[in-house]
Copies of this chain bind each other. A is one copy, B any other.
Amino acid sequence: MPFVNIKVTQGGVTADQKQELIKGVTQLLVDVLGKDPRTTFVVIDEVDTDNWGIGGQSVTELRKQGT
């Protein structure tokens, strides 16, 4: 009965890519820990680049600076 939360920055993640993430991480938990996929939940959060910081700066700022 695992629960997986994946946080990524918002922008251009397609429904197909989300489906691939859900399928891939569920299979990983089957392969590594023998978990039952029927009770494996995955929740994807897409976070605005203004709201995600690394190294003390927002991703919006970092992208403007080309880093």
Chain A positions within 8 Å of B, measured between CB atoms, are: 1-9, 13, 15, 17-29, 31-33, 35, 37-47, 50-61
Contact = CB atoms under 8 A, between A and B. Distances in A.
A3 B41 CA distance: 9
Contacts of A54: 1, 38-42
Complex copy number for this chain:
6
A17 B33 contact: yes
Complex A-B, nearest 10 residue pairs according to Cβ-Cβ distance, in ascending order: A22-B53, A42-B53, A26-B56, A44-B51, A24-B28, A3-B7, A5-B5, A20-B32, A23-B56, A2-B8
Nearest to A20: B32
A40 to B, nearest CB: 7
